[in-house]
Amino acid sequence: MAVVTRGHGEPLAQSPTGLESLDVRKLGMWAFLGSECVFFGALIASYFVYRPLILAGDPKPHEVLGINFTALLAFILLISSLTMVLALNAIQHDRRRAGAYWLLATAVLGTTFLGGQAYEFTKLAQEGVTLSSGIFGQCFLVLTGFHGTHVFLGVIWLLACFARAMRGGFNSGNYIGAEIAGLYWHFVDIVWVAIFTLIYLIP
């Protein structure tokens, strides 16, 4: 029999299935991330539907910037995933200051990624690739732009978590807020894994 809670760890009753023991906030985040899969799946699908046209003319991001630059962006997000999980690990072990600084490092890396994406968009605009320049501009910029928006929101969320951690808001008994922020951040990284492979690397 599993303990039934209402998301605050307070036991209410016994459940034969065990489903009620799941934290509702974490469950809600996973439901949101599942819907986000469909959201980004739709954007990637539109890119591949129009890919024959895209291959016909417009300059490609890896042609303008080179694969090495986008690989650098991928590495930055990978490192930020490590710092995020180390932040949660530190918080869970009551190393609150270390956890706060790992959160800050994650936010800084996210901001660096956004800077790289802004540079990429600027270079593409100089090559004539904009939202109104054609089908490639629309598909590519909407897809990567929405990902960048997610990164931006994640950075804001991480900074809020950092401020809370500095005030001692997280500890080994109360870390679910940081864990949920981490789930969101790792999902943003996972989406970039897909975009990096499908859009930038596949010829």
Partner 1 sequence: MERPHPAQPVPHGASGVPGTHAAPSPEAGHPGAGRYVLVFIVLFIITAAEVAVTYFPEIPQLPALMTMAVLKFGLIAAFYMHLRFDSRVFSAFLMLGLFLAVGMLLSFLALFTAHYREPYEPVVEQTQPGTGTPAVGTSAVSGATGGTTGGVATPMAGR
Output 68 or 126, the one with its CB closest to partner 1: 68
When binding is defined by CB under 8 A, the residue of 13, 16, 126, 132 that contacts partner 1 is: 16
In angstroms, the CA 9 to CA 7 distance is 6
Per-residue interface string for the shown chain with partner 1, residues 149-178, x marking contact by CB under 8 A: -----------------------xxxxx--
Stretch that binds partner 1, among 35-43, 118-126, 141-149, 160-168 (CB under 8 A): 35-43
Q: Which residue has the tokens 């065990």?
A: 18
Is 22 one of the binding residues for partner 1 (CB under 8 A)? yes
The SS3 of residue 174 is: strand
130 is an interface residue for partner 1 by CB under 8 A: no
**Structure tokens, 37:** 């899969």
Q: Is the CB of residue 26 less than 8 Å from the CB of residue 179?
A: yes
For partner 1, which residue of 59, 60, 64, 85 counts as binding (CB under 8 A)?
85
Q: Which stretch binds partner 1 (CB under 8 A): 38-46, 110-118, 119-127, 143-151?
A: 38-46
- Phi, psi of 14, deg, nearest 5: -105, 140
| Sole binder of partner 1 in the list 82, 108, 125, 159 (CB under 8 A) | 82
Secondary structure of residue 14 in the 3-state scheme: strand
Q: How far is the CB of 198 from partner 1 (least distance, A)?
A: 8
What DSSP line would sit under 132-176, residue for residue? TS-HHHHHHHHHHHHHHHHHHHHHHHHHHHHHHHHTT--BTTB-H
DSSP 168: T
User: Could you say which residues in the range 55-74 bind partner 1, by CB under 8 A?
Assistant: 55-57, 67-68, 71, 74
Of 40, 177, 31, the closest CA to residue 100 belongs to 177
Binding partner 1 by CB under 8 A: which of 64, 92, 145, 160?
92
